[in-house]
Amino acid sequence: MNTEQKPEAQKHYNISKEYSVESALRRYIRLTVGENASLFSLIWHELLLGFCLYIPGLPGLAIRNLLYTICFPHFHRKAYVGRQVTLRCPRQICLDSGVIIDDEVQLIATSRHPHAISINKDSFLRSHVMINAGSPEGFVSIGERTGIGQGTILYGNGGLRIGNDVLIAGHCFIVASSHAYEQTYMPINQQGYTAQGITIGNNVWIGAGVTILDGISIGDNVIIGANSVVNKSVEANSTVAGSPARQIKRTT
Ligand SMILES: CC(C)(COP(=O)(O)OP(=O)(O)OC[C@H]1O[C@@H](n2cnc3c(N)ncnc32)[C@H](O)[C@@H]1OP(=O)(O)O)[C@@H](O)C(=O)NCCC(=O)NCCS
């Protein structure tokens, strides 16, 4: 992964305006199955997930593994999905060999990006992780052998790239977007949002409860202390901590 890569220029979106004319049913189909999906694919999706979602234990793992691999084009036959895992727009989710998704994770791939969520070889997500690719064109890509701790929330609106051998502890908040707020005559919730993207390099350890703001780049071999708020990019081979995060050590 090229961690020197600068986040793309800031984009501005106003989703509520863009989709203001769609019906409630069309919106439900778009959010659940995909932008151009039919009513038939919604019914098929709900029957399949309704059947698979709650089966416990090993039989559940085996049945989901079999049916999801048949129905979703980018699920590897050696990827395992736990019980009550929410899958929105699963045809845009790529799970590589050895990926483990623990119980009650949410994978929301509602985006125009064809591979809105991609999780590479031998990576794992602990329970209650929430990944939202982010409308209209966001994505989250997770490298190989990367682990995400319980309750961590990742949004990919401007693009969130996470490298190989990354450890993200529980209850982190990494969101590649921000609310637009400059127009003081208008409520913030009507101003849309801005998105630049976040890049996290290889061999990074992110401590518990860390928040990383949009537009940030984290280099390779970085440690981020527990409960830090990262509002500036972090150079490779360093340890940062605090709110706002400041360098406390260099490893080379
Ligand atoms: C970042 C961390 C690895 C640094 O450990 P360390 O190298 O032993 O660093 P030290 O304890 O020597 O601390 C060095 C300085 O940074 C400060 N510091 C360390 N961690 C900090 C944190 N999370 N927030 C704010 N300041 C921190 C220390 O107070 C110390 O400051 P001082 O020199 O003014 O006294 C560790 O403190 C940490 O936060 N680990 C994450 C633990 C975690 O989240 N585990 C979840 C399971 S994966």
Chain centroid to CA 133: how far? 5
pLDDT given for residue 175 in this prediction: 96
Q: What is the pTM of this model?
A: 0.92
Place of tokens 């101003």: 191
Instruction: Name the residue of 211, 248, 251 to mutate for ligand 1: max ligand atoms within 8 A of Cβ.
Output: 248
Angstrom distance (rounded) from CA 110 to CA 133: 6
Q: Which of 172, 82, 174, 160 is nearest to 119 (CA)?
A: 160
* Cβ–Cβ < 8 Å for 239, 219: no
pLDDT given for residue 6 in this prediction: 47
Inter-axis angle of helices 39-52 and 57-71, nearest 10:
160
- The residue length of the chain stands at 252
Angstrom distance (rounded) from CA 175 to CA 197: 8
Any ligand 1 atom below 6 A from CB of 229 = no
Q: Which of 220, 216, 222 is nearest to 238 (CA)?
A: 222
Q: Which of 226, 225, 244, 224 is nearest to 236 (CA)?
A: 224
CA-nearest residue for atom 38, ligand 1, is: 225
AA identity, residue 112: R
* Cβ–Cβ < 8 Å for 160, 174: yes
* Cβ–Cβ < 8 Å for 48, 67: yes
Q: Which residues contact 221 (CB under 8 A, 6 or more apart)?
A: 201, 202, 203, 204, 236, 237, 251, 252
Query: Ligand 1 centre from 225 Cα, in Å?
Result: 5
Any ligand 1 atom below 6 A from CB of 166 = no
Q: Which residues contact 26 (CB under 8 A, 6 or more apart)?
A: none
CA-nearest residue for atom 40, ligand 1, is: 225
What are the structure tokens assigned to 193, written together? 């949002």
pLDDT given for residue 36 in this prediction: 87
Angstrom distance (rounded) from CA 48 to CA 106: 17
Query: Ligand 1 centre from 44 Cα, in Å?
Result: 50
* Cβ–Cβ < 8 Å for 194, 176: no
* Cβ–Cβ < 8 Å for 241, 234: no
Angle value at C-alpha 141, between 57 and 204, nearest 5 degrees: 90
Chunked into runs of 10 residues, the chain (252 residues) has average pLDDT values of 51 73 90 92 95 94 96 96 97 97 97 95 98 93 98 96 98 95 90 93 98 97 98 97 97 74
Please give the number of the atom of ligand 1 that sits closest to the Cα of 224.
1
pLDDT given for residue 130 in this prediction: 98
* Cβ–Cβ < 8 Å for 114, 92: yes
pLDDT given for residue 135 in this prediction: 81
Considering the domain 22-250 in this protein, what is its CATH number? Answer: 2.160.10.10
What are the structure tokens assigned to 133, written together? 């690719």
Residue spans per domain, the chain = 22-250
